[in-house]
Amino acid sequence: MATHSRKIFLALLALVVGVAAAFLLWPTKQEAPASSFVLLDGSRQTSDDMRGKVTLVNFWATSCVTCVAEMPELVSTYQKFSARGFDTLAVAMSYDPPSYVVNFAQSRQLPFKVALDNTGELAKAWGDVQITPTTFLVDKQGHIVKRYVGQPDFGELHELIERLLAQPVA
């Protein structure tokens, strides 16, 4: 019986070690997808343009109550950190009429970049985003560090932005 118990113990130990090794070796940061964003002014920004900055990519819609409610916090976050290498890109969903997005951005004087996802390709590339708001925090190296579905805890978000801004550009 002792030999049988020992075999079970060794098998379980091997399983635990294997799972732990896989967990430790598994990449914790996902590369932001290669994307080209069409901004309201007609210019383009790519995901490569984000490198060297900490960037918040927010998928939203003018018809989304939570999106509209969180927008002042997004503005405040941008204003708090933008001078230190932080950027925000608000991506309007494909079902959002462009005229509504333009009106919203102008009437609220959004200080950050706003893009239109007319085809839905951006939402698809960024993990098939369907729920708004969905927000991604991207580090200076272009890795997605955190994904928020729904309104983020802005205190926690600010702490994470502080830590990411303090890291050197690799």
- Does 133 sit behind a cis peptide bond, omega within 30 degrees of 0 on the bond before it? yes
Q: Return the ∠ at Cα 131 (arms to 54 and 37), rounded to 5°.
A: 45
> What CATH number is associated with residue 160?
3.40.30.10
Q: Which two tokens stand for residue 39?
A: 């901004």
Question: Please, what's the b/e burial string for 85-115 (b: 16 or more CB within 10 A of its CB; e: otherwise)?
Answer: ebbbbbbbbeebeeeebeebbeeeebebbbb
- Averages of pLDDT over runs of 10 residues in the chain (170 residues) are 60 45 48 96 95 97 97 98 98 97 98 97 97 97 96 97 92
Residue 15 lies in a domain: no
Structural domain includes residue 6: no
Q: Is residue 113 situated within a structural domain?
A: yes
Q: Is residue 92 part of a domain?
A: yes
Look at residue 76 and tell me if it is in a domain.
yes
| pTM metric for this prediction | 0.82
User: Is residue 18 a part of any domain in this protein?
Assistant: no
Count of domains observed in the chain: 1
Rounded CA separation 39/91 (Å)? 9
The residue range of the domain holding 106 is 29-166
Residue 7 lies inside a defined structural domain of this protein: no
pLDDT for 7 = 60
